[in-house]
């Protein structure tokens, strides 16, 4: 198969979909790899390393898009990239379609097979292609929150750990999955008072087992969230229902009861955000304030640490990428049924139920289409 990888064009996004080692693995498996010149520079991988691995360097992104049967990326394509889509292309990347109707329509119109990292679900219900970036975003969320609590950014002027004789900061984490657990690890490690909430009580039990008395677990519901937010210095929003637009668990009306200069980090912004006042921000201008509460809503947080993130992401994506490249998407799905769960668009249809529900579009079962690939 001809496999391509292009530079990301989202603002200040330096991660890439393929390391030189990955390129070598695809080449060794008999595939042709085409990469845009300068692809890995932002993550510390020069062209020479891709060439040594057997990849061919192309002068422009368009050349790579045009020649590729499978495109391996990081972020959801931006409108400038839509004209480069072509029928039958396998697009293997984050898509977050529930929050992006124009991208969904562009994928459907062009007949691209959209394979979304964030919905690939293993048999044990884990999300192996989302988890590595969630681990990074979770750890970063506390670091970023700590920074924007500083007075010069509009924050309250509170140090997370405090010092002897002063109160520690109160951190409220809503969503106890990969992001939440990693945020909890850093927040508890820094000595803050941590409360973590989830709707899944088994998850709360697990968090209680691993963190013990260092944290408070609470069932997530409107009343508990409203009460906890009143005392919070830093709130980290990281709920997820795979494929669906994020539930708005932080209502605008709660903001008026919060401390002035408190900070909300809405990590779930890529799925539309879990706070009613969230709007997407970028690394170059990451915060804004509503009702005296600072909001940080960057949709590609791991892009801030691209070297670590590129390696962590591609460690996870390579395995399924090789499976898809070996026999094509349809056969890969039949051989390893978990890959079906990543297919969000196929032959002009939305094939992931929660995406269809969130966008009010028609859903078609991928299995009914993949069994008849020629239809």
Ligand X SMILES: NC(=O)C1=CN([C@@H]2O[C@H](COP(=O)(O)OP(=O)(O)OC[C@H]3O[C@@H](n4cnc5c(N)ncnc54)[C@H](O)[C@@H]3O)[C@@H](O)[C@H]2O)C=CC1
Residue 220 marked as a ligand binder: yes
Q: How far is the CB of 255 from ligand X (least distance, A)?
A: 18
Note the residue count of the chain: 375
**Residue 137 is a binding residue for ligand X (CB under 6 A):** yes
Q: How far apart (Å, rounded) are the C-alpha atoms in residues 343 and 116? A: 6
Residue 270 annotated as catalytic: yes
β-bridge pairing 70-72 and 2-5: parallel
Residue 232 marked as a ligand binder: no
Site residue total, ligand PYR (CB under 6 A): 8
Q: Which residues, in sequence order, are CB contacts of 105 under 8 Å at separation 6+?
A: none
Residue 96 annotated as catalytic: yes
Q: How far apart (Å, rounded) are the C-alpha atoms in residues 199 and 219? A: 6
**Residue 67 is a binding residue for ligand X (CB under 6 A):** no
Tell me if 99 sits within 8 A of 272, measured CB to CB. yes
Q: Which does 249 bind (CB under 5 to 8 A by kind): ligand X, ligand PYR, none?
A: ligand X
Query: What phi and psi, each to the nearest 5 degrees, are found at residue 335?
Result: -75, -35
Q: Which does 135 bind (CB under 5 to 8 A by kind): ligand PYR, ligand X, none?
A: none
**Residue 277 is a binding residue for ligand X (CB under 6 A):** no
Residue 2 marked as a ligand binder: no
Residue 268 three-state SS: helix
**Residue 34 is a binding residue for ligand PYR (CB under 6 A):** no
Catalytic position from the list 31, 170, 270, 295: 270
Q: How far is the CB of 130 from ligand PYR (least distance, A)?
A: 6
Question: What are the DSSP E strand ranges found in the chain?
Answer: 2-5, 32-36, 56-58, 70-72, 90-93, 113-116, 170-174, 193-198, 215-219, 234-237, 263-266, 287-290, 293-296, 343-346, 349-350
Q: Which does 271 bind (CB under 5 to 8 A by kind): ligand X, ligand PYR, none?
A: ligand X
**Residue 330 is a binding residue for ligand PYR (CB under 6 A):** no
- Site pattern 198..237 for ligand X (x: CB under 6 A): xxx--x----------------x-----------------
* CA 62 to chain centroid: 25
Determine which residue in the list 178, 309, 317, 354 makes contact with ligand X, applying CB under 6 A. 178
**Residue 341 is a binding residue for ligand PYR (CB under 6 A):** no
Determine which residue in the list 40, 237, 302, 321 makes contact with ligand PYR, applying CB under 6 A. 302
Q: What is the rounded end-to-end Cα distance, in angstroms, of the chain?
A: 22
Q: How far apart (Å, rounded) are the C-alpha atoms in residues 5 and 39? A: 8
Given the complex with ligand PYR, which of 240 and 293 has the nearer CB atom? 240
The sign of the torsion formed by the CA atoms of 59, 61, 65, 69 equals positive
Going by C-alpha positions, the residue among 138, 92, 151 that lies closest to residue 319 is: 92
Given the complex with ligand PYR, which of 169 and 239 has the nearer CB atom? 239
Residue 66 three-state SS: helix
Determine which residue in the list 18, 98, 133, 356 makes contact with ligand PYR, applying CB under 6 A. 133
Determine which residue in the list 93, 104, 134, 217 makes contact with ligand X, applying CB under 6 A. 134
* CA 334 to chain centroid: 26
Query: What phi and psi, each to the nearest 5 degrees, are found at residue 256?
Result: -65, -25
Query: According to CB under 6 A, which residues from 303 to 362 bind ligand X?
Result: none
Catalytic residues: 96, 270
Contacting positions for ligand PYR (CB under 6 A): 75, 94, 118, 130, 133, 270, 300, 302
Q: Which residues are annotated as a binding site?
A: 15, 75, 134, 198, 203, 220, 239-240, 267-270, 298-301, 323
Contacting positions for ligand X (CB under 6 A): 118, 127, 130, 133-134, 137, 174-180, 197-200, 203, 220, 238-241, 246-247, 249, 267-271, 298-302
């Amino acid at each position: 198969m001809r496999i391509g990888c292009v530079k990301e064009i989202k603002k200040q996004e330096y991660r890439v979909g393929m390391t030189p080692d990955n390129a070598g693995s695809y080449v060794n498996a008999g595939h042709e790899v085409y990469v845009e010149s300068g692809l890995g520079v932002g993550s510390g991988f020069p062209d020479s390393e891709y060439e040594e691995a057997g990849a061919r360097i192309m002068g422009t992104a368009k050349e790579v898009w045009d020649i590729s049967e499978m495109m391996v990326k990081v972020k959801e394509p931006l409108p400038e990239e839509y004209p480069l889509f072509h029928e039958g292309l396998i697009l293997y990347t984050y898509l977050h379609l529930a929050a992006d109707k124009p991208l969904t329509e562009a994928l459907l119109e062009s007949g691209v097979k959209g394979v979304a990292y964030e919905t690939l679900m293993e048999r044990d219900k884990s999300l192996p292609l989302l988890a590595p970036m969630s681990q990074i975003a979770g750890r970063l969320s506390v670091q970023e929150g700590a920074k924007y609590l500083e007075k010069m950014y509009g924050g309250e002027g509170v140090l997370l750990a405090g010092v002897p004789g002063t109160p520690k900061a109160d951190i409220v984490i809503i969503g106890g999955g990969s992001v939440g657990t990693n945020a909890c690890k850093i927040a508890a490690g820094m000595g803050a008072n941590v409360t973590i909430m989830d709707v899944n009580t088994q998850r709360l039990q697990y968090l209680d087992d691993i963190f013990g008395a260092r944290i408070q677990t609470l069932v997530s519901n409107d009343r508990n969230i409203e009460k906890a937010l009143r005392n919070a210095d830093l709130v980290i929003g990281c709920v997820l229902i795979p494929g669906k637009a994020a539930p708005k668990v932080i209502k605008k009306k709660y903001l008026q009861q919060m401390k002035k200069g408190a900070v909300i980090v809405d990590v779930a912004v890529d799925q539309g955000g879990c706070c009613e006042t969230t709007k997407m921000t970028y690394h170059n201008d990451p915060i804004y304030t509503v009702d005296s509460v600072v909001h940080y809503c960057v949709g590609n947080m791991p892009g801030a640490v691209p070297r670590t993130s590129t390696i962590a992401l591609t460690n996870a994506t390579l395995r399924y990428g090789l499976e898809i490249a070996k026999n094509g998407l349809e056969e890969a799905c039949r051989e390893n049924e978990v890959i079906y769960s990543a297919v969000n668009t196929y032959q002009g249809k939305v094939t992931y139920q929660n995406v269809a529900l969130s966008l009010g579009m028609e859903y078609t079962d991928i299995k009914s289409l993949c069994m008849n690939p020629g239809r």
